Structure 1
Amino acid sequence: MTKERKLPSGKILALILVMFVVIMFSFILLLELPIQLALLTIWFMIMAVGLYLGNSYFQMEKGILKGIYEGMGAILILIAVGALIGTWIAGGVVPTLIYYGLNIISPSIFLMAAMIICAITALSTGTSFGSAGTAGIAMMGIGESFGLPIYLVAGAVISGCYVGDKMSPLSDTTVMTASLSKVDLFRHIKSMSYVSIPAFVIAAILYWIVGAVLYSGSGDLTIAEETMTGLASTFNISWVMLIPAAIVIALLVMRMPSVPVILFGALLGSLWATWFQGYGFIEAIQALYSGSSLSTGIAFIDNLLNRGGITFMLEVILLIILALGVGGLLQSIGALEVIGNIFANWATNTGNVTLTTMLAAFFGVFFGGAAYVSLLTGTKITEENYDRLNLDRSLLSRNTEAGGTVTTPMVPWSDGGVFMAATLGVSTLAYLPFFWYGFLVMIITLIYGYTGKFILGKEKTKKEKENINEQTA
């Protein structure tokens, strides 16, 4: 006899959430075991609850596979970016960016400049991962050469990268959010600009002030000079090394698909390593898979540049697969449906609707481990509340990005958190307090929600527009 399937009660849902937090932090902080093992343990915990509620194993397995499938786009980008990082270091692209940056950027304005440079790169390419893996690594090398705390530099770099990931019409998360919210892409970007532009300006000013206080430009530049000497003696430094970056940015601006363009950029990096950096062809191609391996004679530059390759991303990819499986399991046992019902009862005004959407999106990041999951939970759990209150869907899309996209680098086991920590060499919890753009986006979004400021008027449907045209004819 088949057991009747039930939705989890509030108590059971609370138990799942508490157990998730307990398992995660016990494995990480007390047992010092990999996050991947914690997530795998959480799979079995949720499965046990699912079986108790009457779900079959095969139903939950389908949920796992569906959750993983929904995040495959991010996994493909991670593979491509890993290859890109390896060959752009071997090919001299990243070392040239570091070298020129040390020449032209003043230490006192570096933090602000790092954010702006990464923002321009991300807006042009539409990928925070690609921007962090190229311009971001270069900014980390420059900042460390200037003697700035690496966690502070990482905060500025990630802030800039997520400006583009949130605002660029080329970004997959921006396009996906507009699509899920049923909003025109540029209307979605216009709605977000009311939040993102003030957040960007305030964050840039804060980075400038802190940079000026920490480093006025009168300090010891010995490390920066040693870095430039080490790079110049190891690599052929020339503007020609920047051609692969220019080609990739141009192709992405032309709205070519991200994954093949990034992989093409990685191939260009291998060719540059062969033509200009003295690598053998096989050795240069190997950098696609295993990354860069070199010695400049400067320890922290070696630590920064000996990375990349597809293998560099394997642990990150495994973690994301397991995290996506958690999100799929929670959806399959009805946890997301229960949360949606709770939020619907609470969402009685614009402020509460804003908060519940941000919480629903953050739920997807925290328990689903990926930006894609957060966009699904943010929109699908709360979209009916906007229609019920006659609110424009551009508010839904803006709130979803505020709670989902910009929070991914804040969670240590999410795709954004793991990638940024691995790529920049700074733990998530170390750079988190300095990711000012992300916090400002959330604060400003909530202020607008509860004050009713900068909320676009409800967009007319096609039928409503036709009726208006008939009446005015």
Structure 2
Amino acid sequence: MREDTKRLPSVPEILFVLIGFTLVMYLFIVQFGISIQLALLATWGLIMVVGLKIGYNYKQMQDGLLKGVNDGLEAVLILISVGALIGTWIAGGVVPSIIYFGLSVINPSIFLLAAFIICSVTSIATGTSFGSAGTAGIAMMGIGASFGFPLPLVAGAVISGCYVGDKLSPLSDTTVMTASLSKVDLIEHIKSMLTASAPAWVITALLFLGVGFFYRGDGDMSSATQTMASLEQYFNISWYMLIPAVLVIALLAMKKPSIPVILFGAVLGALWAFLFQGKSLLDSVNILYAGNAIESGVPFIDNLLNRGGIVFMLDVIVLIIFALGVGGLMERIGILRAIGHYLAKWANNSGNATLATIISGFFGNFFGGAAYVSIITASKITEDNYDRLHIDRRVLSRNTEAGGTLTTPMVPWSDGGVFMAAALGVSTLSYLPFLWFNFIALIICLIYGYRNMFIWYTQPEAAPAAKRTMSGKKLNLS
């Protein structure tokens, strides 16, 4: 097939793919109850039909598919590592001890705020939303269930906190990747994000504080006491159970590579299960793959603590591979480039440019299934708009994180959405209304765009007149 026979997809062809994708997902998942993995696999054929029509052969499309999968393999390796970590940290008493001590010191009325803050600090210190949710997040779910909070609400507080660090931490791969793709210094990128994330964090904290008082202002501790007794019965609870967690957080904070550090933490968990929880050495090692198994007689404890292991993540891994394949195919046949061309005609001011970036990021998560894909679509599809409008790329990087990173856990088949649902035991659509930090940060970015607030220009004369002058003097916007 000659290169000059290829062309970009037309609007009807793009709509065929987008509408067809949505229809397939609805019919497979909602109407017929078929697995989401098969739904994504079916969309490969849908996209290939368009690819063949516009001049690509199967080998060329397969190469694009494989490239899409390859670009997201780091996320798959992290999932494998975190799955092993979850299993051994439960069996080794790390997570049960965190739950126990949390129930001992956290007042129910401020629990949601505490969960949000603890997950925020953990994710900023470690730079990983997956690792934070798989450790501190699971512990917060156990504490919240003991206090009687609705689990989707607790999951909302946990995930909101986890994505604070995933968005802001200099240790986060998505933060580094966004700065790199946007051609912005990492620290300048973080400073730019703080203009939206800091007020969003404060507003979110106040909301969780208020809702916490509404739900558990009576401070009832009866269910919490029962949970603590059950944990003491089945686990050795002690301060030294927390050593693996402290070591892993410290190593990640020292900017050590996340995958070997998480695997090291998983091995420590297996060692703790052998040394302190009465597990045989063989069983402790096997937990790395098979996960933890316990029959406590308390249903929610069994549901919470019977998880983890590499096998726990296999369905998630298959789903993410299929989703990455969708993104790779759409990139290969030019759907992303075509959409970028159409958006460029519309994004003629800072507000529309911001909205275009956020939509492009969500597009990457919805049709590409991974944060890595969404960051690429958000930055690469819309970067020319910012250059044409002489808007500093710090604004592009801020909006890319908003549209890419923050929308990841909102999509049920994205890597973030699938992982959070699996790790926390709450479906994506159930916790979605409570992702308050994510939604508020998105809204603030849009307000900034349309109100020309915290929008910096490479050429001051390109700024709107109201922003160029104040009391008759030209502002320095660089």
Length-normalised TM-score, structure 1 = 0.95
Residues 86 and 308 in structure 1, CA contact (< 8 A), matched pair in contact too: yes
Alpha-carbon distance between aligned partners in 2 of 1:266 and 1:100, rounded to the nearest angstrom: 21
Residues 126 and 164 in structure 1, CA contact (< 8 A), matched pair in contact too: yes
**Is 1:97 matched up with 2:98?**
yes
Which residue of 2 is the match for residue 198 of structure 1?
199
Alpha-carbon distance between aligned partners in 2 of 1:459 and 1:273, rounded to the nearest angstrom: 61
Task: Please show how residues 102-113 of structure 1 align to structure 2 within 5 Å.
Answer: 102-113=103-114
Structure 2 residue identity aligned to 1:32: G
| Secondary structure of residue in 1 paired with 2:251 | helix
Structure 1 residue identity aligned to 2:32: L
Residues 109 and 219 in structure 2, CA contact (< 8 A), matched pair in contact too: no
Count of residue pairs the alignment pairs up: 459
Residues 67 and 325 in structure 1, CA contact (< 8 A), matched pair in contact too: yes
| Secondary structure of residue in 2 paired with 1:236 | coil
**Is 1:173 matched up with 2:174?**
yes
Alpha-carbon distance between aligned partners in 1 of 2:101 and 2:133, rounded to the nearest angstrom: 18
| Secondary structure of residue in 1 paired with 2:75 | helix
**Is 1:10 matched up with 2:28?**
no
Structure 2 residue identity aligned to 1:270: A
Cα distance, 1:347 vs structure 2: 1.2
Alpha-carbon distance between aligned partners in 1 of 2:44 and 2:342, rounded to the nearest angstrom: 24
Which residue of 2 is the match for residue 387 of structure 1?
387
**Is 1:344 matched up with 2:344?**
yes
Which residue of 1 is the match for residue 282 of structure 2?
282
**Is 1:272 matched up with 2:272?**
yes
Structure 2 residue identity aligned to 1:411: V
Residues 107 and 219 in structure 2, CA contact (< 8 A), matched pair in contact too: no
Cα distance, 1:4 vs structure 2: 2.0
Which residue of 2 is the match for residue 209 of structure 1?
210
Cα distance, 1:361 vs structure 2: 1.1
Structure 1 residue identity aligned to 2:97: T
Task: Please show how residues 250-399 of structure 1 align to structure 2 within 5 Å.
Answer: 250-399=250-399
Cα distance, 1:34 vs structure 2: 0.5
- In structure 2, relative to structure 1, the CA distance for the partners of 1:459 and 1:301 (3 Å cut) is farther
Cα distance, 1:295 vs structure 2: 2.0
Which residue of 2 is the match for residue 141 of structure 1?
142
Length-normalised TM-score, structure 2 = 0.94
Alpha-carbon distance between aligned partners in 2 of 1:199 and 1:217, rounded to the nearest angstrom: 28
Residues 115 and 157 in structure 2, CA contact (< 8 A), matched pair in contact too: yes
**Is 1:415 matched up with 2:415?**
yes
Which residue of 2 is the match for residue 21 of structure 1?
22
Q: What are the superposed Cα offsets for residues 171-223 of structure 1, whole Å, 9 maximum, x if unpaired?
A: 0000000011110001000000011111111111111111101110343x322
Residues 371 and 404 in structure 1, CA contact (< 8 A), matched pair in contact too: yes
Residues 112 and 208 in structure 1, CA contact (< 8 A), matched pair in contact too: yes
Task: Please show how residues 122-133 of structure 1 align to structure 2 within 5 Å.
Answer: 122-133=123-134
Residues 191 and 456 in structure 1, CA contact (< 8 A), matched pair in contact too: no
Structure 2 unaligned blocks of 5 or more: 461-478
Q: What are the superposed Cα offsets for residues 94-151 of structure 1, whole Å, 9 maximum, x if unpaired?
A: 0000000100001011011100000000000000000000000000000000011001
Alpha-carbon distance between aligned partners in 2 of 1:75 and 1:327, rounded to the nearest angstrom: 15
Alpha-carbon distance between aligned partners in 2 of 1:266 and 1:132, rounded to the nearest angstrom: 15
Which residue of 2 is the match for residue 223 of structure 1?
223
Alpha-carbon distance between aligned partners in 2 of 1:290 and 1:40, rounded to the nearest angstrom: 27
Residues 252 and 261 in structure 2, CA contact (< 8 A), matched pair in contact too: yes
Cα distance, 1:457 vs structure 2: 5.1
| Secondary structure of residue in 1 paired with 2:407 | helix
Alpha-carbon distance between aligned partners in 1 of 2:93 and 2:429, rounded to the nearest angstrom: 31
Which residue of 2 is the match for residue 405 of structure 1?
405
Residues 98 and 141 in structure 1, CA contact (< 8 A), matched pair in contact too: yes
| Secondary structure of residue in 2 paired with 1:139 | helix
Alpha-carbon distance between aligned partners in 1 of 2:60 and 2:402, rounded to the nearest angstrom: 32
Cα distance, 1:459 vs structure 2: 10
Alpha-carbon distance between aligned partners in 2 of 1:350 and 1:427, rounded to the nearest angstrom: 35
Residues 147 and 224 in structure 2, CA contact (< 8 A), matched pair in contact too: yes
Alpha-carbon distance between aligned partners in 1 of 2:369 and 2:67, rounded to the nearest angstrom: 14
| Secondary structure of residue in 2 paired with 1:412 | coil
What is the percent sequence identity of the aligned residues?
A: 63
Which residue of 2 is the match for residue 467 of structure 1?
none
Which residue of 2 is the match for residue 241 of structure 1?
241
Alpha-carbon distance between aligned partners in 2 of 1:102 and 1:425, rounded to the nearest angstrom: 20
Q: What are the superposed Cα offsets for residues 48-88 of structure 1, whole Å, 9 maximum, x if unpaired?
A: 11111111101100110010011111111000000000000
Residues 8 and 335 in structure 2, CA contact (< 8 A), matched pair in contact too: yes
Structure 1 residue identity aligned to 2:90: I
Alpha-carbon distance between aligned partners in 1 of 2:456 and 2:114, rounded to the nearest angstrom: 32
Structure 2 residue identity aligned to 1:372: Y
Q: What are the superposed Cα offsets for residues 319-356 of structure 1, whole Å, 9 maximum, x if unpaired?
A: 00000000010011110110010111111111111111
Which residue of 2 is the match for residue 436 of structure 1?
436
Residues 390 and 457 in structure 2, CA contact (< 8 A), matched pair in contact too: no
Cα distance, 1:455 vs structure 2: 2.6
Structure 2 residue identity aligned to 1:410: M
Structure 1 residue identity aligned to 2:169: S
Alpha-carbon distance between aligned partners in 1 of 2:241 and 2:457, rounded to the nearest angstrom: 48
| Secondary structure of residue in 2 paired with 1:404 | helix
Which residue of 2 is the match for residue 465 of structure 1?
none
| Secondary structure of residue in 1 paired with 2:384 | helix
Q: Which runs of 4+ in 1 moved over 4 A?
A: none
Alpha-carbon distance between aligned partners in 2 of 1:218 and 1:246, rounded to the nearest angstrom: 30
Cα distance, 1:456 vs structure 2: 3.9
Structure 1 residue identity aligned to 2:21: F
Cα distance, 1:387 vs structure 2: 1.2
